[in-house]
Amino acid sequence: MSLTRVDVATPSRPYPILIGRGLLAERAHYPAALDPARCVIVSNETIAPLYLERVQQAFGGGLREYLMPDGERYKSLDTCAALLDYLLEQRLGRDCTLLALGGGVVGDLTGFAAAIFQRGIRFVQLPTTLLAQVDSSVGGKTAVNRPLGKNMVGAFHQPIAVLADTDTLGTLPQREFLAGLAEVLKYGLLGDADFYHWIRREQAGLLARDPALLQQAIEQSCRHKAAIVAADEREAGQRALLNLGHTFGHAIEAHLQYRDWLHGEAVACGMLMAAAMSARLGWLPGDEVARLRELLHSLGLPVAPPAGLTPAAMLEHMRGDKKNLGGQIRLVLLDKIGQARVVSDYAAQALEDTLHEFCHAQG
């Protein structure tokens, strides 16, 4: 199977995304200018035993390693400060490069550390989850969490390269894999009807993690994300389309205090709610919503919010969304499959009816 390359042309920095099998262990896939003596692999305690040796092997060994604990709660200023202190102890300067080996947590934290260490150093994304390969490693959003909000402290800082080694997906826990598939589906729903229908057709092979299908799905997702972030690096406009399902999804995550459900699971349910609301507004045919529900269900993704989340509580969480403007809840809705738009001037009744429909449904 061949290696595929997607170029990301953001105004601040152009960089390649390489997608394929066995990339981590081959030096030729990494940026040529990397000096192993000035590189630090940042990973966590789960991923390092599985894949860190492959990165060392690419460079003939000897790269510094920094391991953080595993878990969203470690995507924190404390973990970031500990990493920055390590870089200072090692007497590394502005010419060092961080290699972020892991999922979105390792990638976001390492990217943020790279954004602020000595006012900005280079970093490479080596994403090992499906979500990270199709979303978080691309586009330069880096962040840590604070007790009062997820991703509330961060910076835009693009990597110098992304190497998505699809071999790493073989060890990914099933729920994490499915949560990543939800993000793949998002690109079809918001911008590419053909891709959406391709996912529907190939769902059995994707669920079986067929390497060729996964490579195609990752490539297509990255092409969509690359085009959007190149046109709107700092989310002044169309990048907000990538939040399809996220306002509903964040309300679910906030209600659960970011426990129990994975982000992609909440986004899956949120995309269905956005589709259902679009149908209520008369934009999307009702049978498309039914087909999407069926697809999510057969992909093992949730199609209703957790029991106990009332419409009023969900609305309250949505009112607190950081993307709202002037007190209006901004939503990404669907004109049709493959075409999304950001709206805040919708009929409020349609949102309330959607919340009532779903918050009383059983998943």
Residues that bind ligand GLY (CB under 6 A): 135, 139, 141, 239, 242
Could you tell me if 12 and 122 are in contact, meaning their C-beta atoms sit under 8 angstroms apart? no
Q: Please, what sign has the CA dihedral across residues 172, 176, 178, 179?
A: negative
* Tokens 């954004």 found at: 115
Q: Is 317 a catalytic residue?
A: no
Residue 357 to residues 36, 133, 147, 240, 277, Cα–Cα distance (Å)? 56, 34, 31, 26, 10
Tokens found for residue 247: 């306002």
- Contact with ligand NAD (CB under 6 A): which of 26, 65, 70, 357? 70
Residue 348 to residue 362: CA distance in whole angstroms: 24
Number of residues that bind ligand NAD (CB under 6 A): 27
Q: Which of 17, 23, 24, 47 lies at the binding interface for ligand NAD (CB under 6 A)?
A: 47
246 is catalytic: yes
Q: Is position 129 an interface residue for ligand NAD (rule: CB under 6 A)? A: yes
CB of 322 closer than 8 Å to CB of 141: no
> Which one of ligand NAD, ligand GLY, none interacts with residue 46, CB within 5 to 8 A by kind?
ligand NAD
Active site residue 225: yes
Of 89, 91, 119, 259, the active-site residue reads 119
DSSP strand pairing (39-44 vs 97-102): parallel
Contacts within 8 Å (CB) and 24+ apart, 293-297: 295/185, 295/199, 295/200, 295/203, 296/182, 296/185, 296/268, 296/269, 296/271, 296/272
**Residue among 263, 280, 317, 330 flagged as catalytic:** 263
Residues 158-177 that bind ligand NAD (CB under 6 A): 168, 171-172, 176
Give the binding range for ligand NAD (CB under 6 A) out of 43-51, 214-222, 233-241, 303-311: 43-51
Give the angle 281-286-287 at the CA atoms, nearest 5°. 160
Binder to ligand NAD among 10, 44, 76, 243 (CB under 6 A)? Answer: 44
Contact status: 253 vs ligand NAD (CB under 6 A): no
Residue nearest to ligand GLY (CB): 242
By the rule CB under 6 A, 104 interacts with ligand NAD: yes
State the Cα–Cα distance between residues 267 and 183, nearest whole angstrom.
8
d(CA 174, CA 152): 29
Determine whether 29 is an active site residue: no
Exactly one of 41, 131, 206, 299 binds ligand NAD (CB under 6 A); that residue is: 131
The yes-or-no answer on residue 255 being catalytic is no
* Residues with catalytic function: 119, 141, 183, 225, 235, 239, 243, 246, 250, 263
Contacting positions for ligand NAD (CB under 6 A): 44, 46-47, 50, 70, 72, 75, 102-106, 108, 128-129, 131-132, 135-136, 139, 141, 151, 168, 171-172, 176, 263
